[in-house]
Every structure is written in C-alpha cells, then in structure tokens.
Chain A
Amino acid sequence: MIGFSRLAFCAFAFLVAIIGAAAAGELPAPTGKVVLKVGGAISNTNAPGEALFDIEGLEALGIVGMRTSTPWTKGVHLFEGVRLSALLKAVGAQGEALRGIALNDYSAQLPIADSVASAALVAYRLDGKRMSIRDKGPLWIVFPYDTDSRLVTDEFLNRSIWQLKEIVVE
C-alpha cells in the first residue's frame, strides 16, 4: 500500500511537472470527436464552462500504462490512458469529489483524494487498441485492482465507471 501510494505520488508529481504550463493557461480546443466533457468547479476550459477532450487531447496529458485484471473481464489486460490526477490538474479541478457519468446515464461519485491516491486511470486503450462501446469504451475509469484487495471491494467497483462520457467536479 505504501509502495503503491508512493508510486502514485511520484507519477502525480511527474505529471504536474510536465503539464504545469498547460494547467496555467487555456486548454487547446478539441479537433476530433469529443470523447469526454469535464464540467463543474474547474478553472481551465476550452468551451463555455466546460473542458472538452478528444482522444488526442487526452493523450497530450500523458499516456500511462497499467496491467491488471478486472472483475468484469477475463485475464490480465494492458490499460493505457491518462491518470485521473493529471486530468483533474489539467482542468484545474477545485472540488472534493467528482461525478462520473456513463453513456447510459449511470453515474457514481468519486472522492478526489482517495481516487487520486489509488492511482485511478482514465483508460482509452485496451491491449493497445481503442476501446469500442462494446469493449466498455471509449473511456473507462480503472484502478490497479491486482495491487490492493481494498480496490476490489464494492466501494471501488462502483467507482469503476465504463463507457464514461462526462465528469462533473463538485
């Protein structure tokens, strides 16, 4: 757990360092298909009150790989995406929690501190390929379930939102 936290912290620090400039100013507007909309208490936007991301926009925040199994899939898979912490930093999130909303309007609340400390990843690639809706894409909030038994309790499983389309910072 300590190792895990430290890893998360190092990653967090690294990301803060490389995207520091972006965090301070305006976000680039998306050019491709918008896959994620971030709203609520954020300071960096590229649309009225919202930060919109296409896949390239998310990739620009840094690509992180994570190999883990999940309760909903067979075997171990390689997830690639952006750290939730990097994403929140990029949009200048100023809240305590965030609400994740799926394509089918399922929503769940995630406490920011706990989720960031657990190295939550907003994944967009599974085993090197973009995730289709059928593959629980295009975005999926995943945790490193194999590293900590706490992450496979109902609490975290409910936070593992697949087919994610929107995040509201509260």
Chain B
Amino acid sequence: MPYRSSRMGVTRLSALAIVVLAVAVAAAVLAVSIYLQLERDLSKPRENLQWAVYQLQAEHLRVMLSAHMGIEGEIDVEELDQAYQIFASRVVILVEGGVFAPLRALPGYSALLDDFTAAISEIDASLSSTEPTASAYADRLLETLPSFSDRLQSVAMGIVADSSAEQTARQVEMLETMAWLVGTLVLIVGASLMLGGVTVKQLAALEASRRHLAAALDRAEESSRAKGRFLAGMSHEMRTPLNAVIGLLREIGYRTRADSIRELVSTADASAQMLSGLIDDVIDTTRIETGKFQLTEERFDPRTLIEEVARVLASAASDRRDRIVLETGELGSLGVVSDRTRLKQVLINLVGKAIKFTHGGTITISARIEQTGGARGRLMVAVADTGIGIDRDKVDSIFKRFFQAEIGGGLGLGLTISQDIVERLGGRISVESELGDGSTFTFEIPVDLVEAVPVPTPAMFGFEERPLAGVRVLVAEDNSTNRLVIEFMLRRAGADFAFAHDGGDAVARAIDGEFDIVLMDINMPVLDGLGARDEIERRMGDAMPPMIALTADALSEDVERFLAAGMRACVTKPIDERELIQRMRQVLGETPSFLSRLGAASDAPSAEAPPVDEGILNDAQRGALLDLVADLDAQAPGDDFDESRVQRVSGSAR
C-alpha cells in the first residue's frame, strides 16, 4: 500500500513540477518583455511634447513682448529680429523635427503649425522688401501674432490633458502587467511550497520504507545465520554417532565369519562413509560462509596425492565399470607446497563427480607442473571423463551451490567447495563440456616448488599384524561408544590400554600407571584435555608421556592451538584407524624414553608382544583385517579391487 501511494505521489509531483516550471517560464517571459519595453522607452529619442509646446508658447510671448518693447523704443530692430527669428526657428523645428511627429499628429496642432508657417511667410515677405524701423517691425509682428495666443493656449492645455491621460493609461497598463507578474509569482511560490511539501512527505515515506527494508534484511540475515548455525551444530552432533557407527560396522566386519554378512557390512560402511562425506561438505560450506575456512601448507609429492585419490575411488569406479587412467608423467620429480588435504578434497570431489556421471567409460586424471620462475610454479590438473556431459547453457552455473541438487544428485555442494578451495589457494577452476560428450574439469593453482619429497612408506605397518604390540596406552575419552571404537582399534594393533572417563580421571591414572603414550580427548567433563595435560605436566614434569589430541573440531587453527599447548599430534574424529596408528608410531618413534625402554627390552615390540589372543583374532578375522586395510585404502568396500583398474600405481604400497 505505501508503495502504491508513493507511486501516485510521484505522478502528482511531476505534474506539479511541470506546472511550476511552466508558470516560472511565463513569469520570466513577462518580466523580460517589461524590461525590454522599458529599455526601448528609455532609449527612444523623444522630446517632452508639453515642454516643446511650452517653449513655443514662451517664444511667442517673448517675441510679442519684444515687439511692445520695440514700439516703446527700448530695444533696437536687431534685438527684435533675433526674438522673431528664434520664435520662427522654433516653428521650423516643430514642423520638421522627427521627434515631434507625434505632436503633429495631434488634432488642431497640425493646423496651428500650418497657420504659423503661413503667418511667418507673410511677415517675412512684408518685411524683406524694406529696411523697417523697430517700431514698424513691431507693428507688423503685432498685427499677426497676438491672434495665435488663445489657440496656442488651448492646444497647450489639450496636450497637457492628453499627456496626462496617456500617462495614466500607461500606468494602468503597467499596473496590469505588474499584477500579472505578481500573480504569477504568487502562483510559483504556492506551487513551490506544495512541491516542497510533497517532496518532504515523499522523502519521509522513502526513509520509512528504507528502514523497513533494512530491518527485513537484518531479519533475513539473522535467520540465515541461525540456519547456518543450526546446520553446523547438527552436523557436528551427527558426526559423533556416525563415527561410532562406522567403527562398529568395521568391527562387525572383522568378527563375522559369514561372507554375506561381511558384504552387507561393507555396503553399510560405504553408505556411512558417504553420509560422513556429506556432513563434512555441509560443515565446510558453513565454514566458507563464516570465513573460518583455513588453509594449512605442507610439502608433498603431487603424484602420490593423485595416486592416493585414484586408489580411494578405485572401487567406486569399478562399481560403475569405469576405468581410471593417470597421466602424471609430466609432473617430474618436484614436490610442491600447498594445502594437501584440501587439494585431496578437490580431487576426490572432481573424480567422484566424474565417476558418478560416467558409466562404463574412462576417467583420466592428468597433471603437470609449469615453472613460472624461480621456485614458483603452477600445478595444473585436469579430470576428464567420457560421461553424460553437461548442457552448454548449464556449464556456467555448474559451480553454483545446490546446482547438482537440481539435476538430481547429492547436495550440490562439492563443486562449490572445490571452487572455493581452488580460489583460496590463488588458482582457477573451469569446466569444458558437451552434452553426451563427457566433461573436463581443469584447475590450476600457484605453488612453491621444492625438492622431491620422500614418499612416506605406508608399508610401515600395513601388514604388520600388531603394529603397537607392547605399547602402553592411556585413553582419556568420556564417550563410551568412542571408547569402544578406540578399544577395538588398539586391541587389533596389539596395544595395552587403559581408559579414563574424564580429565580428572586421566590425571590420576597418568600419574599412577606407567604409560608410553596418552590419547587425550579435548572436550571432556571435569577437566578438558588441555587442562588435564597441563596438570599431568605439573605433576610429572619430564616424565610425562607424549600426548595425542583427539578432537571433532578439525579446524586448522584449533589443531595449531592444541599443538602449541604441548600436544604432540592431533587426530580428528571420525578416527581413521590407519591415521591413528601411524600418528602414534610417529610420536613414539620420536620419544627417547619409549625408544630406550624398547631397546632395554632387546627386541621389537611385535616380537615381544604376547601371543595372539585366539579369542580376539582368529584366522578368519585376520582375513577380515586384510580386507579392512584394503577398505581403509579405498575408503569404500573393495573386495573385488582389481589392480589393473588403477594405472601407474604399481609402485605404491599396495
């Protein structure tokens, strides 16, 4: 409603403005015409007609007076002639002068001038024949001239009346013009006032609606933030139980002897992994929105990264009878510095998408490094598939959020996140595609180039049956399901372990028992993980065992905070068994007290480990463990993993 009324206001306002303008122009024209009229009047040569008649009358009287004086002998003929000549010249001027044309047009005056001219001619004629005396001259003048007195007087009076009437008429005319002018001005002022009023009202309405809009925007933003917070919170909450589900599913897989059950568990595990990935995407998106998305640089070998991605997705590809081909020959042997984890995320996203939209085709991952000068370079990666492709008019919007949701697959966040990561790394991502002719996603990022990075040997524990045999572990974890998951992992690894249920408990047990390493959950009741660490350090000093933080908050700034607080490493939940054990071994390998204890024991931990507990791990379960290693590699069920499907990975740990 306010919008409607304001629109009407605008129309009214325009009309009013046009009226004001028109009136103002009219007033200006009127004023200019008055000015021009006055100027014309001023510059026009005009003698005052009344003055002219008065002069004539005066000269007439003067010549008659002179004539009387001539009769009396008071003046000579020369003086008398001068007076007469002056009078005559006056008549000539009035007869000839251009400025006196209006005078000659007056009734009665023209006849008077004619009669004067005739009289002067007569006088001239009668006087020219002789040399008259003053009195004769005077007599001749007085014979004719006095008869004009009355006529001259009446004409003079008439002119006075005429000029005064004319002046009055002019004044009336001027008054009328001025009245118009004043009226116009009043109209302008009135209209301007109305215009001003309407404008003020409009501005007030505009301001009100602006405030209204701002408030609505605030509400919308707040609502959006609340939704984001809810989404992030919910995703976090979902991760913990999901973590447990994944851990327990795997445990079932280890324990079962029935292939059919193991197959079911594999499928359930794959689904749970997928769910976990989706939740990660949602959390990533929230982080991107809130600016909490941080990058951590490290040195790595891009070829290994790509091979890892291919391995992870190998089983998904085989499910859809797709072949993954790697073209990493141009990478050379240089290592790069960038965010490996995020790049892996991008690659998994792109290759995962390629697999999803390709059936029985080929996915080619090609990569090369282009040196741009010095130790700087560009890492360029292309993921090409032979799948269904993308409609040309949809190519532009493919990186938009929820786009994929529109074409019916997933949340549609993956490409958005990938684009964001690549752009945050200072690079570009693009896509080329034809409907029915596959798609090629290409991204390039600027990187620092370093010497070849030694590839860590995943074989460190790969097939080792009990990689942590003999290691004494204290696990501080308040969540019982998580404790169960960790228990299974540690048991499989052959570690000795004890649990603490909160921070205080952890401090007490750490001091009492002898542990080689502590796994410390960060969020715990009574005393949180960092507080517990500080307390243990205060009590034990240098004898404190090394600690690894367990956290659900995978933000890099959190990880840095934990490391700064004295944690030796950080493992994020859901806990990847392989990562946990690798980290533990890494930390233990750097711990002199453990190494010396190991040395004192004169044998390797695995050798010294107690014999396999038959109740925990039988042959069938050992088989399952092997499967699990494969699963962990592939992040998906991989019973029928076929070496030939992954090219150029022959040098890897598998």
Interface of A toward B, CB cutoff 8 Å: 69-74, 103-104, 132-136, 149-150, 152-154, 157, 162-163
B47 pairs with A104, CB closer than 8 A: no
Specify which chain B residues have a CB less than 8 angstroms from the CB of A134 in the assembled complex. 85, 88-89, 92
Specify which chain A residues have a CB less than 8 angstroms from the CB of B46 in the assembled complex. 154
Specify which chain A residues have a CB less than 8 angstroms from the CB of B42 in the assembled complex. 153
* Bound Cα distance A65, B42 (Å): 30
Specify which chain B residues have a CB less than 8 angstroms from the CB of A71 in the assembled complex. 45, 47, 97-99
A-B contact pairs, 24 of them (CB 8 A): A69-B98, A70-B97, A71-B45, A71-B47, A72-B97, A72-B99, A73-B96, A73-B97, A74-B98, A103-B82, A104-B62, A133-B89, A135-B92, A136-B89, A149-B43, A150-B43, A152-B43, A153-B43, A153-B45, A154-B45, A154-B46, A157-B99, A163-B86, A163-B89
- When C-beta atoms are compared, the residue in chain B nearest to A145 turns out to be B45
A135 pairs with B99, CB closer than 8 A: no
Interface footprint category on B: 10 to 19
Tell yes or no: B93 within 8 A of A by CB: yes
Tell yes or no: B577 within 8 A of A by CB: no
- When C-beta atoms are compared, the residue in chain B nearest to A69 turns out to be B98
Interface of B toward A, CB cutoff 8 Å: 42-43, 45-47, 59, 62, 82, 85-86, 88-89, 92-93, 96-99
**New A-B contacts (13) at CB < 8 Å, excluding given A70-B97, A163-B86:** A69-B98, A71-B45, A71-B47, A72-B98, A103-B82, A104-B62, A132-B85, A133-B82, A136-B89, A153-B45, A157-B47, A157-B99, A163-B89
Specify which chain A residues have a CB less than 8 angstroms from the CB of B98 in the assembled complex. 69, 71-72, 74
Shortest Cβ distance from residue A57 to the other chain B in the assembled complex, whole angstroms = 21
- When C-beta atoms are compared, the residue in chain A nearest to B97 turns out to be A72
A133 pairs with B86, CB closer than 8 A: yes
Shortest Cβ distance from residue A152 to the other chain B in the assembled complex, whole angstroms = 4
Specify which chain A residues have a CB less than 8 angstroms from the CB of B93 in the assembled complex. 72-73, 136
- When A72-B97, A72-B99, A152-B45 are in contact, do A104 and B88 touch as well, CB less than 8 Å? no
Shortest Cβ distance from residue B496 to the other chain A in the assembled complex, whole angstroms = 119
Specify which chain A residues have a CB less than 8 angstroms from the CB of B82 in the assembled complex. 103, 133
Specify which chain B residues have a CB less than 8 angstroms from the CB of A163 in the assembled complex. 86, 89
- When A152-B45, A153-B45 are in contact, do A74 and B96 touch as well, CB less than 8 Å? yes
- When A153-B45, A154-B46 are in contact, do A133 and B96 touch as well, CB less than 8 Å? no
B85 pairs with A104, CB closer than 8 A: no
Number of A-B contacts (CB under 8 A): 50
Specify which chain B residues have a CB less than 8 angstroms from the CB of A152 in the assembled complex. 43, 45
Interface centre among A104, A150, A152, A153 (most CB of B within 10 A): A104
A104 pairs with B86, CB closer than 8 A: yes
Interface centre among A72, A73, A153, A157 (most CB of B within 10 A): A72
Specify which chain B residues have a CB less than 8 angstroms from the CB of A135 in the assembled complex. 89, 92
- When C-beta atoms are compared, the residue in chain B nearest to A137 turns out to be B89
Specify which chain A residues have a CB less than 8 angstroms from the CB of B47 in the assembled complex. 71, 157
Specify which chain B residues have a CB less than 8 angstroms from the CB of A72 in the assembled complex. 93, 96-99
A contact patch SS: loop
* Bound Cα distance A73, B99 (Å): 9
Shortest Cβ distance from residue B321 to the other chain A in the assembled complex, whole angstroms = 102
Specify which chain B residues have a CB less than 8 angstroms from the CB of A149 in the assembled complex. 43
Among B43, B59, B97, contact of A104 (Cβ-Cβ < 8 Å): B59
Shortest Cβ distance from residue A18 to the other chain B in the assembled complex, whole angstroms = 33
* Bound Cα distance A135, B45 (Å): 21
Specify which chain B residues have a CB less than 8 angstroms from the CB of A73 in the assembled complex. 93, 96-97
Shortest Cβ distance from residue A74 to the other chain B in the assembled complex, whole angstroms = 5
Specify which chain A residues have a CB less than 8 angstroms from the CB of B43 in the assembled complex. 149-150, 152-153
- When C-beta atoms are compared, the residue in chain A nearest to B85 turns out to be A133
* Bound Cα distance A150, B170 (Å): 24
* Bound Cα distance A133, B84 (Å): 9
Specify which chain A residues have a CB less than 8 angstroms from the CB of B99 in the assembled complex. 71-72, 157
* Bound Cα distance A133, B99 (Å): 21
Shortest Cβ distance from residue B14 to the other chain A in the assembled complex, whole angstroms = 46
* Bound Cα distance A72, B45 (Å): 11
Specify which chain A residues have a CB less than 8 angstroms from the CB of B45 in the assembled complex. 71, 152-154, 157
* Bound Cα distance A152, B42 (Å): 10
Specify which chain B residues have a CB less than 8 angstroms from the CB of A132 in the assembled complex. 85
Shortest Cβ distance from residue A137 to the other chain B in the assembled complex, whole angstroms = 9
- When C-beta atoms are compared, the residue in chain A nearest to B88 turns out to be A134
- When C-beta atoms are compared, the residue in chain A nearest to B58 turns out to be A104
- When C-beta atoms are compared, the residue in chain A nearest to B42 turns out to be A153
- When C-beta atoms are compared, the residue in chain B nearest to A151 turns out to be B45
Shortest Cβ distance from residue B574 to the other chain A in the assembled complex, whole angstroms = 100
* Bound Cα distance A152, B43 (Å): 7
Among A70, A103, A157, contact of B86 (Cβ-Cβ < 8 Å): A103
10 A-B pairs with the lowest CB-CB distances in the bound complex, closest first: A133-B85, A72-B97, A152-B45, A71-B99, A134-B89, A74-B96, A72-B93, A71-B45, A134-B85, A134-B88
* Bound Cα distance A149, B96 (Å): 21
- When C-beta atoms are compared, the residue in chain B nearest to A165 turns out to be B82
- When C-beta atoms are compared, the residue in chain B nearest to A156 turns out to be B45
- When C-beta atoms are compared, the residue in chain B nearest to A136 turns out to be B89
* Bound Cα distance A134, B82 (Å): 9
Specify which chain A residues have a CB less than 8 angstroms from the CB of B88 in the assembled complex. 134
- When C-beta atoms are compared, the residue in chain B nearest to A75 turns out to be B96
Shortest Cβ distance from residue B118 to the other chain A in the assembled complex, whole angstroms = 16
* Bound Cα distance A69, B43 (Å): 17
Interface centre among B59, B85, B89, B98 (most CB of A within 10 A): B89
Specify which chain B residues have a CB less than 8 angstroms from the CB of A69 in the assembled complex. 98
Interface centre among B42, B43, B96, B98 (most CB of A within 10 A): B98
Specify which chain B residues have a CB less than 8 angstroms from the CB of A136 in the assembled complex. 89, 93
* Bound Cα distance A71, B102 (Å): 13
